[in-house]
Every structure is written in structure tokens, then in C-alpha cells.
Amino acid sequence: MEVELGGSYRVDRLVAVDATEEAARARLRDRTPDAVIAAHVEAWRRRWSLAAIEVVGDEAAERALRFAAYHLVSAANPDDDGRASVGARALTGPAYRGHVFWDTDVFMLPFFIYTHPPSARALLGYRYRTLPAARERARGLGLRGALYPWESADRGDDVTPPAAVSASGEVLPVYSGLEEHHISADVAYAAWHYFEATGDDDFLVEEGAEMLVETARFWVSRGRIEADGRFHLRGVMGPDEYHPGVDDNAYTNGMARWNLERAAAAVRLLDERRPERRRALAARIGLGEGEPAEWLRAAAAMKLEADPATRLIEQFAGYFAREEIDLALLEPRTVAVDALIGLDRLARSQVLKQADVVMLLHLLWERFPVEVSAANFRYYEPRTAHGSSLSPGIHAATAARLGDLATARRYFRQTAEIDLADNMGNAAGGVHAGALGSLWQAAILGFAGMSLRDDGLAFTPHLPAEWRALGFAVCWRGRVLRVTLDGEATELALEGEAPMVVAVAGAAPVEIAPGGRVVVRR
């Protein structure tokens, strides 16, 4: 091409990637650059109308939330047929080799459930497609049901490296692949959460119930009711990876109990709504009539309780007797605490990488009295070193729900800085997609205080003083609810075909008609 000095030129090149050259060429057939760009802009406009968050009065917070939404929207493919998921760094960098962790199911998925259910559905499709590998993994350990891998890739086999070389050159065993069995409950939680928020019966019938059943089967074979009459899960590691090989980890037990109960509920729902599919499922996976009752017995006996006097839930058996280390004495600190203290001493101490009890309270908020949540947050928060980027966002959400806004703001800012500050030494590896999801949860589940009701949604807002207003959209069972919160009122606008009920703290629940707009004053 000949060009003239001072001239302005535009060069377009369309690139398609597919499994074969023929398929790639087919993708480009009859497409022009302008049409492709226009379609791209329109697709982003549609997604952004649901994903964008407005924070009036705090530009930095708004920018961080939009940064999170941008990367999350970019990460998931709603048209995927279950062959791919979102890795820990999405597709933004080579770190973590694209492996899929619980980050996707627990930290990112809520964003997709409430802003673009088809993307959430596609991510769950990946877990369903890899269910056979999870069954095989459980079978390999002499257990029943399905044990999802800690790190999953294309086929769903466990691809967790068995060892790590630390920065000081030490070879460290990696326990997460061997002991973080909570991943199976995390996947089950994701499936049920999606079903509850979307009302997608077809998903439950075709895939969700089977995942719930197989993960429940895993738990009843993984633990047992012992002489004390309690169901124990021994030799596990919770999300707090500073403490491998513990018994009765609160997060694992709490999520396993929930998994067992929801599996029984899923079977009951199938019985009620689609009995023929229940019979087909039972025939396909050999589901015995008595199994749901067995799950409920294990759940009822699960070792997990708050001390009646202190209201504290012990993170694992013997945790309270471990060495106390005052983390405040290490401040200011810019490095993970394991690099300072060493993993051996951390394992003997009360220092947490992330607080398993706080995580459990966050996911199952409605199951615990607020006094229990408050007592445990106050106890575990100073013992938590936040060595995981997944930790501060959950602390922000929990502190916000408890009305501790100064703490919530501090953790929100810390989460926002993980990818935006570029001082963590790992920007080139890609964004921390799980942490981005936790930032969204801190804003919507934390500051806006959103929770599910059977007939709609509820909001218990705790907005920081500088947030003059918070605006966002959420999807619920085929409808879109646009929400604007400020210090005095909550404005709700409903798009869709059917009414829904919304409860705002301090006011009676209101039913909103399709196309309707309601202002609830506090």
C-alpha cells in the first residue's frame, strides 16, 4: 500500500480463532469490520447496562467497581458449551496457568448470576461437564460421589502441582490439592445459588440436582458419625491454607452440612415438580430411596456450633489452644506473612491466611444470628493476615453487613488496590479475577445489603458516609431490578414480565409491577 506523507489511513484486519481453519473462515464469512465493531459496541452496551455500578461521592470506588465489572464481563463466555471456565487470572495473564479454582464458583459467580445469568449458566456447565472426572477422583480415594479437583483444567482432572518452590528456594509440599475438599461443597453452593436466584428449573433438572447429589454422596463417605454422635470430617484444610491436616474445619463442615441439606431439598423438588426426571436420575446414578435421609442425618449431626457463652465458632478442633501472634506488631507490612514468619510456625499459631469462619458466615449469612456473626468477626478479624487476595473483599462485605463502615471501607480499598495499585509484584500475571468478584460482592451484598427472598430480594443498606448514592442493576428470575440507594431512600425500577417483592430494611415489603418504579423511604 502506498501512503502519502501527512495522510491518515485506517487498516482493518479481522481475525477469527477456532479449532480448524475452515471453522475460523466461516466465522468471518460475510462480516465487515464496521459491522463487527458495531456488534461489539452493541454487545458491550447491553452488558454494561446491567453490570455498571454508580457510586456518587466516591470516584475511586466507582472506578474500582467498574474495573472489576469490565474484567469479569470480559472473562466469561455465555455461549460456551461447558468446555471452558474462568481461570484465577482470567485470560489477562499467564499466572496460574488458566487453572480453575473455587474463585470462580464462590467469588466470581454471584456477579454473573445477578448481572448475566447465561454466563453463570455456562460456568456451571463446565462443572457439570467435569462431573465424571470428579466422580473418578472420589473413586480413586475409595470414596463415593464426586470430589472436584482443587485446580481444574480442560478435562476436570486434578492438576494441582504437588510441590511449590518458595522464593527462598525451599521446596514446599502443596496440601491444597490433597485436602481442600470444601471445593465440592463450593461447586454445590454455586449450583444452588444460581438456581435460587434465577429459578432455572431446567438447570436443576438437567444438571444441578445431579451435582448436588454427587457432592452430598461424597461428604457422607468422606466423614462419619463417631462415638460422640457427631459427624466429623477429619484431615482437611479449609480456605485458610496456613493450617493443613485439621479436624472439623468450620468452613468445610458448615458448607458440607449445607450441601447435604440442599441435595435432599433438590431431590424433594424433583419429586414434586418433575417426578419422571427424578426417576430417570435415580436410575442413571443409582440413587437409593434412603439416601436423602442419610444426608440429612449426617447434616444434623455435623460437628459445628457456636459456644453459647462466647458465641464463637472454633475454626477447627484445637484452634483456640494455638499460639497467639499479634499481627499488629508486624505493621506496617507490605508482604504476605508467610514470607516473614514461615509456614511451620504459622501452622502452630492462630494466624489465618483468610478467616474460614467469616467466609462461612458470609456465604450462609441468614443461617447465623447476627450476634454470632458479630462476635466471630470481632474475634477472627485481628487474627487474619489476609495472605490471600480473596480475603479482604469478604471482610469488607461482612463488616458492611455488620454496620462497621470504617472497617468495611478499609477492606474495600485494600481489595480495590489489588490490581489497580500495581505494587503487589504480580501485575504481569494477570488480574485477580476472584478478588474482583469479591469487590462486587462487598458493594452489593455488603454495602447494599442484598439478600434473596423466596418472592424477591431484600436490601439492608449500610452505605459509607461519602457514598452519597449507589446505583446498580440485578437480575432476578427473568426480571431486571434497577436500584438506587442513598442515605434516605431506595428507588426501585422493575423491568420484565412479572411482578416481584422487594423488602428494604425498616420498611414493609413492597410488590413492584413490571415497568413500575417505587421509592421506599427510611
Partner 1 sequence: MSGPCLIVPLDGSLHAAAALPIAQEMARLYGGTLAVIHASEPALPAAAAAAATGLAAARFAGVVVEGVAGSPAQAIVRSAGEHAAALIVMCPHTTVVPPDRRIGRTAAEVLRRAPCPVLLVKPLRPPAPWTPRTILVPLDGTPASAAAIHPASEIAARAGAGLLVLHVTGARRDRPGEPGTLGAPRYTDQPQHEWTAWAAEFRERACQLCEVAAGVSVRLFLAAGDPGGEIVQFALAHQVDLIALAWRGTLEDVRAATVKTVVREAPCPVLLVRF
Name which of 160 and 221 has its Cβ closer to partner 1: 160
Q: Angle at Cα 331 formed by Cα 327 and Cα 334, nearest 5°?
A: 110
Stretch that binds partner 1, among 37-45, 75-83, 331-339, 355-363 (CB under 8 A): 331-339
**Which lies closer to partner 1 via its Cβ, residue 162 or residue 288?**
162
Q: Per-residue string for binding with partner 1, 152-181, x by CB under 8 A? A: --------xx-xxxxxxx--x-x-x-----
Write down how long the chain is.
522
- Which three-class secondary structure state does DSSP give residue 450? strand
- Which is the catalytic residue, given 62, 210, 241, 314? 241
Which residues fall within 8 angstroms of residue 90, CB to CB, at 6 or more apart?
71, 72, 74, 75, 430, 431, 433
Look up 241 and say whether it is catalytic: yes
The answer to whether 284 and 348 are in contact (CB under 8 A) is no
- Which CB, 314 or 338, lies closer to partner 1? 338
How far apart CA 502 and CA 28 sit, in angstroms, is 45
425 lines the binding site for partner 1 (CB under 8 A): yes
Q: Does 330 bind partner 1 (CB under 8 A)?
A: yes
Q: Kindly tell me which residue out of 260, 390, 405, 500 binds partner 1, with binding defined by CB under 8 A.
A: 390
Binding track, positions 356-385, relative to partner 1; x by CB under 8 A: ------------------------------
Site pattern 428..467 for partner 1 (x: CB under 8 A) = xx--x-x---------------------------------
- In Å, what is the CA distance from 60 to each residue of 125, 421, 448? 35, 12, 18
How far is CA 479 from each of CA 12, 73, 233, 245, rounded to the nearest angstrom? 39, 19, 40, 45
**How many C-beta neighbours within 10 Å does residue 10 have?**
5
SS3 208: helix
Is residue 97 within the footprint of partner 1 (CB under 8 A)? yes
Residues 71-90 that bind partner 1 (CB under 8 A): 88
Residue 127 has a CB neighbour count (10 Å cut-off) of: 27
- Interface with partner 1 (CB under 8 A), residue from 58, 96, 240, 376: 96
CB of 301 or CB of 341, closer to partner 1: 341
Residue 96 CB, nearest approach to partner 1 (Å) = 5
Sort strands 479-486 and 489-495 into parallel, antiparallel or unpaired.
antiparallel
Contacting residue, 144, 234, 311, 333, with partner 1 by CB under 8 A: 333
- To the nearest whole angstrom, how small is the minimum distance from the Cβ of residue 90 to partner 1? 14
- Three-state secondary structure of 397-431: HHHHHCCCHHHHHHHHHHHHHHHHCCCCCCHHHCC
> CA end-to-end span of the chain, whole Å?
67
Binds partner 1 by CB under 8 A, chosen from 149, 254, 292, 387: 387
Q: Catalytic amino acids? A: 241
Residues found near partner 1 in the complex (CB under 8 A): 88, 94-97, 99, 101, 151, 160-161, 163-169, 172, 174, 176, 329-336, 338-340, 386-390, 418, 423-429, 432, 434
